[in-house]
Structure 1
């Protein structure tokens, strides 16, 4: 068994043991696959991790950048207490429409709102609307724009806000300073920004599994 097959086998074991099958989540994945959405959503055990992190944070407000079919949105919205709210940003109107259907099927239409448009611009509008501050933020959109997402997110944060950014290892390519891959460049610049920002305390972890070799960056807004 090669490494990737072994990673996937371990993922399957962990999910089977710790993340039972769920009707709404399974339906969201199935609807996304039927609609031809790319299979780039978080894995079930990663979704459960986000859910637990938001609960440990005792988040009442969540901001998500990158909705896709709403799979991670459902995980995060379920972490919220009664009266909590989630805002998720999606640039593709077809994806946003499907995500809305998946969210409604999960019984979370009153909790989660999908806003359609370029996330960089929507983040500015949210600041103008005096939205937030958000307790928990999940960044999982086009990596090229991670630095701009971070700037927008910080304007909507408070001391104690947790920011999680997905897909930051890029199969190990994050170490390539000479790359011309805009997504890797965006991740590297994101790391430079969080490392150099005195408001943030940050770390990152590598992950392996059914989604390959990747990882999360995690920051806490300190002031």
Structure 2
């Protein structure tokens, strides 16, 4: 997540709470820590979801009974490993542009023993997602019950629109980094990432296919937030 502001207390709370809600004795703890450490050692930026954020996403998949999830922005595979390791029935399709990130992610996923349930697709985000949508509409790929969008922010709406179009009824779609330290509320901000974020929030709010909400977050990754949307059972 983006981290324009940080507070040591937020990180301390994350560390304390995670030590109790996901202790080292959990079966996936080592794989997750190894994925984090190997990603940093390979020079990847430290921008993956925090442990409580990633586990929250994994628990959402459990609540919804998701069998197929989509992630846009693999990085080192950390969040994908959380999703799959916490949900044995779940298959994750994750998309990444950077070849180096793809190589690191695949090594981490293999080390976690999840190669059979996490598919890493290398390629330009919009091109890949459009191809996935065509596969879904042709019945060649299962619809997604959960989508996590953490890619280039300028295309937030395009990703969101396509994800909704290939999701199951009552599926959830989460867009990361939408608060951006509060800068999203500045109408005069011309940063393309801010403009792309404002676009997805405003268009999602008018989209008859979903009901949506923005949640502000703080933690070890700083001050940011998520857009959450849930597909309606029947389209209007």
The normalised TM-score by structure 2 is: 0.90
Find the partner of 1:17 among 20, 25, 31: 20
Give the corresponding residue for 1:63: 70
Aligned length: 221
Query: Equivalents in 2 of 1:65, 1:199: separation in Å?
Result: 21
Query: Equivalents in 2 of 1:74, 1:178: separation in Å?
Result: 38
> What RMSD, in angstroms, separates the aligned Cα atoms of the two structures?
1.4
Would you say 1:194 and 2:183 are equivalent positions? Answer: no
SS of the residue corresponding to residue 26 of structure 1 reads: helix
Deviation, structure 1 residue 3: 6.9
Can you give the 5+ residue segments of structure 1 that lack an aligned partner in the other structure? none
Deviation, structure 1 residue 29: 0.6
Give the corresponding residue for 1:89: 95
Between stretches 164-173 and 5-14, larger displacement belongs to 5-14
Deviation, structure 1 residue 77: 1.3
The normalised TM-score by structure 1 is: 0.95
Between stretches 151-160 and 165-174, larger displacement belongs to 151-160
Query: Equivalents in 2 of 1:155, 1:118: separation in Å?
Result: 19
Displacement over 4 Å in runs of 4+: none
Deviation, structure 1 residue 75: 0.7
Q: Which structure has more RCO (C-alpha within 8 Å, separation ≥ 6)? A: 2
Deviation, structure 1 residue 55: 0.4
Cα offsets for 1:97-125 (capped at 9, x unmatched): 11011111111100000000111110111
Between stretches 18-27 and 184-193, larger displacement belongs to 18-27
Alignment map for 1:89-108 (pairs within 5 Å): 89-108=95-114
CA contact (8 A) 1:61 1:80 kept: no
